[in-house]
Structure 1
Amino acid sequence: MNKILLAAVATLALSGAAFAETAVAAPEFATVDTDANGTVSLVEAQAVMPELTAEAFTAVDLDANGELSVEEFDALVAARAAM
């Protein structure tokens, strides 16, 4: 799982078009998970990362359930910070 997660992070880090190039503070999972269901939806993620595309979201949604777990969200934030 960690190798897959790292591959997703690397993929996002290399796709500079997916994120704006300005540095932005990393959002906290609990803050982004506005409905407190333990996952982050695309809509919730885009509320704090408006530049986030559906394709980039899907790339880190490793279990393809349409929601990001804490680990998947952390990978997204790490890839965004690497930009």
Structure 2
Amino acid sequence: MHKIALTLAALGLATTAAFAQTPTTFADVDTDTSGELSFAELQVVWSDLAQAEFDTADADGSGGLVVGELNSLQPPAVPAPVAPTLDVPTLDAPPDTVPAPQ
């Protein structure tokens, strides 16, 4: 009986950890349902956010961030493509500009 209880307790803790990693939506963080995220609301989920960063993102000076302002704080999820350099041949380059193999 003790083994069953310990197993269930371990499963419960593992499940809680898995739920803690689920993405949080804007509406979840906007606890006062104002349509903007205050610095205090953001601090709950983003503890290393500095007041200066928040103030810079608050473009309209309303004291809260709307979705667009919040997105300005976050780097893009996909990195920008790296521009090709001139000395690297591309597939669409004319054959006479591609260096011969050595």
Name the TM-score class by shorter chain. Answer: 0.5 to 0.7
Which of residues 49, 54, 57 is equivalent to 2:54? 57
Query: 1:64 & 1:49 partners in 2: Cα distance?
Result: 20
Identity %: 36
The TM-score with structure 2 as length reference comes to 0.48
> How many pairs were matched up?
58
Please provide the CA RMSD for this pair.
Answer: 2.5
Query: 2:32 & 2:55 partners in 1: Cα distance?
Result: 20
Structure with the bigger RCO (C-alpha within 8 Å, sep 6+) is 1
Which of residues 42, 46, 59 is equivalent to 1:45? 42
1:28 and 2:28 matched: no
Q: What is aligned with 2:75?
A: 79
Q: Which runs of 5+ in 2 are unaligned?
A: 1-20, 79-102
Relative to 1, partners in 2 of residues 1:79 and 1:45: Cα closer, same or farther, differing over 3 Å? same
Q: What are the superposed Cα offsets for residues 40-77 of structure 1, whole Å, 9 maximum, x if unpaired?
A: 0000011100001100101110111111011111222x
Query: 2:56 & 2:75 partners in 1: Cα distance?
Result: 11
Bigger radius of gyration? 2
Query: 1:25 & 1:72 partners in 2: Cα distance?
Result: 23
- Give the superposition deviation at 1:36: 0.8
Structure richer in helix, relative to its length: 1
Query: 1:54 & 1:81 partners in 2: Cα distance?
Result: 23
